[in-house]
C-alpha cells in the first residue's frame, strides 16, 4: 500500500496542494498534525485534509491550541497572534473536525504515528540522537513517524550496541526500512532545515520503503496572503529560506 505521510502544514494551502499533486495516487494519507498555525489559510487546509480519502490524522500542538485545549499563552507572541486569527476565522465545521481528532500515539501496522514524540505526543521535539534515544523505549512497532520539528530526518537505533545515529537521507530516493527507526517527513508548510521546498514522504507498507520528498511551490503567493491577513511578517520571511 502506498501511503502519503505529511505533517506541519501550518495553514499553507499552496504548499499542501503542490504536495498532493506531486505525490500522485496513494491508497492512504497519514497526517501527523499541525494543520493550522502560522499561515494564512486555516480553513482551506482543514477542508482539503478532511476531504482526503482513507485519512488518518492527528492533532499537533497548534491544532490543540486552536480548539482551546492549550492556553495560547503557551506560545510565543508571533505564533499566538496567528492562532488568535485562526480561532476567529475557522468555520464551525472545520473546528468540529479538529475537535474529533486524537492527539495520542496511534499504531498503523508496523508504524507508530505521533506529532511530537512517543513519550510526549504534543510538545516534545526529537531534534538529535539524544532525544531520539530517550524515545525508542516508548513505542513497540519497528518504526515511528513523528512531526513537530519541521526537519526531514531519520534516527536509527542499532540493537547490537544501543547506539542511535542520524541517518543520511537522499531526497526522492526510496530506502528500505529496518527496525528500529524514528522518521520525520518534514514540514509541508514551513520547513526549518534551510530547504524552503515543501517536505513530505511516501511510505510503502508492503515493500517497507520510505521515500523523503521535496517540491517547490509558489512561496510569493503565500507571503502575499500572510501580509493581507496582517499576520506576523516573520511568518512570511522565513518561508523563503526555510528556517
Are 37 and 82 within 8 A, CB to CB? yes
Q: What is the pLDDT of residue 183?
A: 98
Continuous segment of H or E residues that includes residue 194 = none
Phi, psi angle pair for 11, to nearest 5°: 55, 35
Are 12 and 41 within 8 A, CB to CB? yes
Mean pLDDT, 10 residues at a time, over the chain (243 residues)?
98 99 98 98 98 98 96 94 97 98 97 98 97 97 98 96 95 96 98 98 98 98 98 97 95
Regarding beta strands 163-166 and 152-158, do their DSSP bridges make them parallel or antiparallel, or are they unpaired?
Answer: antiparallel
Q: What is the pLDDT of residue 155?
A: 98
DSSP H stretches of helix in 67-180: 77-89, 92-99, 129-133
CATH 3.60.21.10 is held by the domain 2-106+172-178+186-241: yes
Q: Return the SS3 of 6.
A: strand
For the beta carbon of residue 193, count every other beta carbon within 10 angstroms.
18
Q: What is the pLDDT of residue 82?
A: 97
Amino acid at each position: 500500500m502506498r501511503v502519503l505521510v505529511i505533517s506541519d502544514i501550518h495553514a499553507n494551502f499552496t504548499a499542501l496542494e503542490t504536495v498532493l499533486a506531486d505525490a500522485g495516487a496513494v491508497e492512504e494519507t497519514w497526517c501527523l498534525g499541525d494543520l493550522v498555525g502560522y499561515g494564512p489559510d486555516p480553513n482551506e487546509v482543514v477542508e482539503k485534509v478532511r476531504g482526503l480519502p482513507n485519512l488518518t490524522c492527528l492533532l499537533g500542538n497548534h491544532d490543540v491550541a486552536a480548539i482551546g485545549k492549550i492556553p495560547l499563552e503557551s506560545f510565543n507572541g508571533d505564533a499566538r497572534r496567528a492562532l488568535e486569527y485562526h480561532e476567529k476565522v475557522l468555520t464551525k465545521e472545520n473546528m468540529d473536525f479538529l475537535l474529533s481528532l486524537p492527539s495520542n500515539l496511534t499504531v498503523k501496522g508496523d508504524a507508530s504515528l505521533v506529532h511530537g514524540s512517543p513519550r510526549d505526543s504534543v510538545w516534545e521535539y526529537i531534534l538529535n540522537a539524544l532525544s531520539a534515544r530517550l524515545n525508542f523505549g516508548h513505542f513497540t512497532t519497528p518504526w515511528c513517524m513523528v512531526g513537530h520539528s519541521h526537519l526531514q530526518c531519520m534516527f536509527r537505533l542499532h540493537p547490537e550496541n544501543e547506539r542511535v545515529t542520524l541517518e543520511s537521507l537522499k531526497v526522492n530516493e526510496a530506502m528500505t526500512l529496518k527496525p528500529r527507526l524514528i522518521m520525520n517527513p518534514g514540514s509541508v508548510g514551513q520547513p526549518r532545515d534551510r530547504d524552503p521546498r515543501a517536505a513530505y514522504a511516501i511510505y510503502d507498507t508492503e515493500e517497507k520503503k520510505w521515500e523523503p520528498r521535496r517540491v517547490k511551490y509558489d512561496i510569493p503567493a503565500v507571503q502575499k496572503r500572510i501580509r493581507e491577513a496582517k499576520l506576523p511578517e516573520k511568518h512570511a520571511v522565513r518561508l523563503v529560506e526555510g528556517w
